[in-house]
Structure 1
Amino acid sequence: MPSDDDYTIRLYEPADREGFLRLYDEVFGGGTEAWFRWKYPDNPYVAHVPMFVAERDGEIVGARPYMAFRLRNGDRTALGLQTGDTMVHPDHQRRGLFTRMTRQSFDYYGDLDGDVLTFSIPNALSRPGYLKLGCREVGQLATAYRIQDPGALASGAVARAGGAAAPLIRLGQGLWSRRSPTPDDVTVVHHDAVPAGTLSALYEERPPDGVHALRDERFYDWRFDRPDWDYETYVARTTDRAEPIAAVVVGRSDDGDSDTAALTDVLPLAAGSARHRGLAAILPRVASDHADADVVVADRSTLPDDLARAHGFLADDRLPLSAATTPTILISRLFDGTDDPPWELHGARLDALDDWTLTLAERNTF
């Protein structure tokens, strides 16, 4: 059996790309060069690939990557690194490589100038490992589902709901869905792409309270250039003003098991009456255009409760979905090179969910 000394833990180098992709295909299946370039080397917020690898005899046998965001709270920003694609080759598991790669990443980013934090959504199996390394649970990120094909409950984006819950879910949607009036003075314009300037300007009109990804133009140009998803945008305007009052970026992905439409970003991020009217006009259009999707997904916090109910969305932190789902838990901590990091950053408590404002755009799976 290899000893700890047989492994080298180090920062990713460009020559590691093929080894990473081979390992990814072995552990998860799939993963293309275009996807890798988009997610890591082409990320606009770091000048390096934020990844640590475990190497043995010249072979990449483990990887601890991060997806980078520029996080904003008020007028200040910090580098936010979201874990994802963590993997260890089956022949090299249970040798502490996950912990060693993660600890080295904490030490590396803790030594950098400026604030760097991790915000992550690990599964139930890996979450205890992060908590042992000093992370804290922030709270549940609730997801809302408009389930259009209950048969899709057994796989894909709604796999956690489970087929056994399908009758209960049908009943819940039947009871809670109702007609919602569409404002007659609001028009919705559809864009086949993501108009970065329009969305960034709409975001800047009313930035929200709470930690969130800065939505500058480079965010939209990069975030929605993901090659394994297709994105389009719905922009709402009233007849008495030229500027938009609301917008929704919808992503579409068919992974072979289920066809998912995701309300990946919903603007403005802050609630308001104009936003509500805009979404009241956009949601029926989205439902019509994506009636063939198995499921439409949104972050629950982005949809007003009355509109979510009116359009048949069920939240996984409430019955009936909560009876059959596994909660999606956000964890966080600052990289500061210590075992006891501070928990306040720019006036926000990093371990308090109310101090975060996140959409699906901040989740690396959409």
Structure 2
Amino acid sequence: MSQYTAQKPKKCQIRHFRSGDRDQLIRLHDTVFGHNWGHDWFEWKFENNPYVDHVPVIVATRDDQIVGCRAFFALEMRVGATTRIGLQPCDTMVHPDHRRQGLFSRMNELALEYYADRRPDFFFNFPNEHSKRGNLKHGWKVVGTVPMYYRLHDPVALAEKRVESDRSKELVHAYSDLQRAASAIADEFTSPPSLSERWSLDTDLEGVRIERYETPPCSLLASIERESAGIHANRSPEFYRWRLANPEHDYVTYMAKRDGDALAAVVVSCVDDCVRLIELVPREFSARENEIDRLVRTVISEYSNRSYFTAFGIGVPNPVRNRFFPDTRVPLSLFVKSTARTLLARDIGDATVVEDSSPAEWGLTRLDLDTT
């Protein structure tokens, strides 16, 4: 029993996951988040995770009923020339009837105590504002902000879904209908000549063939990735096989090849009317920038009937930067509530691994996030 639990007995008990907890956790997830992820999702995310030998979940119970959860998404992370295990806190939830009772802190403290002398080397995550305060209280440090990049095909769809700021509402109400408001947004996205010129560049590459895969070619993806700078999940075949087996999403891979050799790839996943660019390899983008440019153009063309595209990450390649807008800057920041995420990190034990890092030292894509 943890020291924390012994010193502060409460009606709600804090303990580790047990084999019979899964059904209750799934029901709690549905209550808190409004979506029942199902048994396949739980098995994939926590029970079949290849990087830990246990289910990394802490629960709070009252009268044998689970009322809170602090879970962790384990990844093998590449930090410089070494690999380390990182834990990404995720799916943190407390039943509405049991909030403001300190359960988040108690679950957090048991996790910190448990992992203090075990393999994981650090925590990193992108918490919402409520969890962010709790994380900072328990030693997490702010690393920086990671933007979301957007490319709009149909501004109406994004306006309907994401108009949030006061400035946005003023603009929308100033027009008689949403279509006219969307036209104003579209006007804001007029590219300067230099950007338009880049878009029209002929990036056809001699002998390069673009292939589409409905089933992720995991070994080929791993073969493209080279040892690269930036803290990120280690792109091994095992990583891709497990990570792209998420039962909640379908993934399509576009790969540039020459003479049968894989040169670069983009992995996409569609959610409603949005196309997410969740992975671009190689991560040393400059080595294959022309190939990545061709792949991005292919994806945009093939999904031209979708309303918008998104890409996520600190170091996105120029082919994305030249065609997408970050939600942290004008013009997009005027119209939509930013989905940029604040990256927090905390070392486990005495070694300093990530707490003193800067955003430039990370190389995350959406595939490094637990929610994709």
Q: Same fold (TM over 0.5)?
A: yes
CA distance in 2, matches of 1:279, 1:172: 26
* 1:115 to partner: Cα distance: 4.3
Deviations 1:106-152 (A, max 9, x none): 1111121x342111000122211110100001111111111222223
Match of 1:271 in 2: 285
> Which of 284, 296, 318 is the matching residue for 1:283?
296
Structure 1 segments unaligned to the other structure (5+ residues): none
CA distance in 2, matches of 1:167, 1:120: 36
Structure 1 residue 233 corresponds to structure 2 residue 253: yes
* Mapped contact 1:154–1:161 kept (Cα < 8 A): no
Cα gap change, 1:321 to 1:68, in 2 (>3 Å): same
> Which of 246, 253, 263 is the matching residue for 2:271?
253
CA distance in 2, matches of 1:183, 1:236: 11
Match of 1:318 in 2: 329
Cα gap change, 1:168 to 1:122, in 2 (>3 Å): farther
* 1:59 to partner: Cα distance: 0.1
- The residue type equivalent to 1:228 in the other structure is E
Structure 1 residue 130 corresponds to structure 2 residue 129: no
CA distance in 1, matches of 2:301, 2:34: 33
Matches within 5 A, 1:1-366: 5-30=10-35, 31-112=37-118, 114-154=119-159, 158=162, 164=169, 166=182, 169-176=185-192, 178=196, 179-180=199-200, 181-185=202-206, 186-203=208-225, 206-238=226-258, 241-254=259-272, 259-273=273-287, 275-305=288-318, 307-308=319-320, 310-311=322-323, 313-323=324-334, 324-326=336-338, 327-336=340-349, 342=351, 344-345=352-353, 350-366=356-372
SS state at 2:189 partner:
helix
* 1:7 to partner: Cα distance: 1.1
SS state at 1:68 partner:
strand
CA distance in 2, matches of 1:49, 1:169: 46
* 1:335 to partner: Cα distance: 2.1
Identity %: 35
Structure 2 segments unaligned to the other structure (5+ residues): 1-7, 172-181
Cα gap change, 1:215 to 1:92, in 2 (>3 Å): same
Normalized against structure 2, the TM-score is what? 0.86
Q: How many residues align?
A: 344
Match of 2:177 in 1: none
Deviations 1:22-74 (A, max 9, x none): 11111111221111111111111112111100011010000001111101123
* Mapped contact 2:252–2:269 kept (Cα < 8 A): yes
CA distance in 2, matches of 1:38, 1:281: 33
* Mapped contact 1:65–1:83 kept (Cα < 8 A): yes
CA distance in 2, matches of 1:175, 1:136: 37
Deviations 1:201-229 (A, max 9, x none): 111xx221121101111111111111111
CA distance in 1, matches of 2:67, 2:103: 9
* 1:182 to partner: Cα distance: 2.5
- The residue type equivalent to 2:218 in the other structure is A
* 1:281 to partner: Cα distance: 1.0
* Mapped contact 1:333–1:350 kept (Cα < 8 A): no
- The residue type equivalent to 1:226 in the other structure is N
Match of 2:176 in 1: none
* 1:276 to partner: Cα distance: 0.6
Cα gap change, 1:309 to 1:78, in 2 (>3 Å): closer
Deviates more, 1:318-327 or 1:124-133: 318-327
* 1:290 to partner: Cα distance: 1.5
* 1:309 to partner: Cα distance: 5.1
* 1:174 to partner: Cα distance: 2.5
CA distance in 1, matches of 2:120, 2:356: 13
Match of 2:178 in 1: none
Normalized against structure 1, the TM-score is what? 0.87
* 1:161 to partner: Cα distance: 7.4
* Mapped contact 1:194–1:233 kept (Cα < 8 A): yes
Could you say which structure has the larger radius of gyration?
2
